[in-house]
């Protein structure tokens, strides 16, 4: 049965999927901006972050409005509270894409990354895309099994993150402190982007199954 | 009038104050652990993070339970939703203290910080204490004016954070890449700790006045 109330709940869900897609596009562009020192892409990502933030504010206001008007039963209430948390995670994922783009813009017309980091950051970018696509899928389908896969995908990000530090700490590193600072922060931005995706997966998993998938950070 | 419902709402508020105090104590100990290479303090902070996380989980469950049972009016509902967001900020502040303590533990028995960073990190620690004390006060009093002060206190943290980078980037820096990575991350942990305090201030300010104090990150 489709009544106005359930249409509202579905609209909340659809907005979360849209936010996940926006965060994914932003991180894809930010990765290219970083790799190519592409200023216009970096500017696009930085400008688009406001749109994700606005969508979060609208969604959160909508959710509180539904809670106030509809007096939802416990199950729907838990789903709505989860939506608020998921929207905060997705907004934060958009922030990390924005942070990556800002590093690219700050170093323009130079490339922020020395050549020996191109491959590993490219792989971090690919891993981030895999994870955020899966996040959008999970939000759409509420598939608790796929939500569990995000933990393994995140292990891959952690592996790449450690590889980044190994390159930085290799005695052959010749790019100085400023590049090391940029790289440290960039690595953290990808890692945190993935962490928030895992957090979304855990929240959906818990909502659907009532069981925590594993200890959160 | 004190009925059971209002006692529940006040207990939520009191738990938030307690979480802010715990995050403050954790960051104070983490700063000392970092400055003195004090392993037992670092271990205390790392162990105590679970207590903050548990308190957050209990509080959030309690808030959702109140929402489900009491069908709060719009004003109380907004306050309860704000509590969920504030508890997430405070939990995250505890995480950053934990991260600082982990750097101290990782480098033990060495000090993680070279001597020329001792003063600026000490000042970051003091600024963090000022901010988290004010955060607890704001949560206790719902004082919207004091909430606005946090923005200025955060400017001081940002200034110290920039000073940290100036020291790192000075040609006289002789402590290599590993120390630069640690310092970059430590600087970010203090900065993010303060950002979340500002976020709490903004949320309380908005709840009390209905006006945004300024654009969030």
| Contacting residues of A for B78, CB less than 8 Å apart | 64
pTM: 0.94
pLDDT tens readout for residues A49-59: 999 999 999 99
**What CA–CA distances, in Å, run from B11 to A31, A76, B42?**
46, 25, 30
- What was the ipTM of the complex prediction? 0.91
Query: 3-state secondary structure string, chain A?
Result: CCCHHHHHHHHHHHHHHHHHHHHHHHHHHHHHHHHHCCHHHHHHHHHHHHHHHHHHHHHHHHHHHHHHHHCCCHHHHHHHHHHHHHHHHHHHHHHHHHHHHHHHHHHCCCCCCCHHHHHHHHHHHHHHHHHHHHHHHHHHHCCHHHHHHHHHHHHHHHHHHHHHHHHHHCCCCCCHHHHHHHHHHHHHHHHHHHHHHHHHHHHHHHHHHCCCCCCCC
| Contacting residues of B for A185, CB less than 8 Å apart | 184, 188
pLDDT more than 70, % of chain A: 96
pLDDT tens readout for residues B28-67: 999 999 999 999 999 999 999 999 999 999 999 999 999 9
B201/B216 Cα distance (integer angstroms): 11
Using CB atoms, pick whichever of A67, A84, A180 lies closest to residue B180. Answer: A180
Q: How confident is the model at residue B213 (pLDDT cuts 50, 70, 90)?
A: low
User: What tokens were used for A139?
Assistant: 């939000």
Strands (E), chain B: none
pLDDT tens readout for residues B157-172: 999 999 999 999 999 9
Q: Residue B43: what pLDDT?
A: 98
CB B183 within 8 A of CB B164: yes
Q: Chain A: residue nearest B174 by CA? A: A177
Q: How confident is the model at residue A92 (pLDDT cuts 50, 70, 90)?
A: very high
Q: Residue B214: what pLDDT?
A: 57
pLDDT tens readout for residues B123-169: 999 999 999 999 999 999 999 999 999 999 999 999 999 999 999 99
In residues, how long is chain B? 217
Q: Residue B150: what pLDDT?
A: 96
Across the interface, do B81 and A95 touch by the CB < 8 Å criterion? no
Q: Report the range of poorest mean pLDDT among B70-74, B89-93, B192-196.
A: B70-74
Across the interface, do A77 and B84 touch by the CB < 8 Å criterion? no
Residue-averaged pLDDT of chain A = 94
Across the interface, do B185 and A188 touch by the CB < 8 Å criterion? yes
pLDDT (mean) for A82-107: 97
Q: How confident is the model at residue A151 (pLDDT cuts 50, 70, 90)?
A: very high
Q: Would the pLDDT of B23 be above 70?
A: yes
Q: Residue A210: what pLDDT?
A: 83
User: What tokens were used for B26?
Assistant: 């954790």
């Amino acid at each position: 049965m489709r009544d106005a109330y359930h249409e509202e709940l579905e609209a909340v869900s659809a907005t979360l999927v849209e936010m996940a897609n926006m965060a994914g596009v932003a991180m894809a562009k930010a990765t290219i901006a970083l790799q190519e020192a592409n200023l216009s892409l970096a500017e696009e990502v930085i400008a688009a972050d406001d749109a994700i933030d606005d969508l979060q504010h609208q969604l959160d206001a909508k959710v509180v409005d539904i809670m106030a008007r509809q007096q939802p039963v416990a199950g729907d209430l838990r789903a709505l509270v989860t939506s608020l948390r998921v929207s905060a995670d997705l907004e934060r994922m958009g922030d990390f894409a924005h942070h990556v783009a800002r590093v690219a813009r700050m170093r323009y017309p130079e490339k922020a990354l020395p050549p020996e980091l191109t491959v590993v950051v490219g792989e971090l970018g690919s891993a981030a895309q895999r994870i955020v696509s899966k996040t959008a899928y999970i939000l759409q389908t509420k598939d608790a099994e796929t939500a569990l896969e995000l933990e393994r995908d995140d292990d891959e990000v952690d592996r790449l993150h450690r590889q980044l530090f190994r390159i930085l700490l290799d005695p052959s590193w010749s790019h100085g402190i400023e590049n090391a600072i940029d790289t440290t922060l960039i690595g953290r931005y990808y890692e945190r982007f993935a962490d928030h995706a895992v957090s979304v997966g855990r929240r959906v998993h818990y909502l659907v199954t009532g069981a925590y998938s594993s200890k959160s950070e």
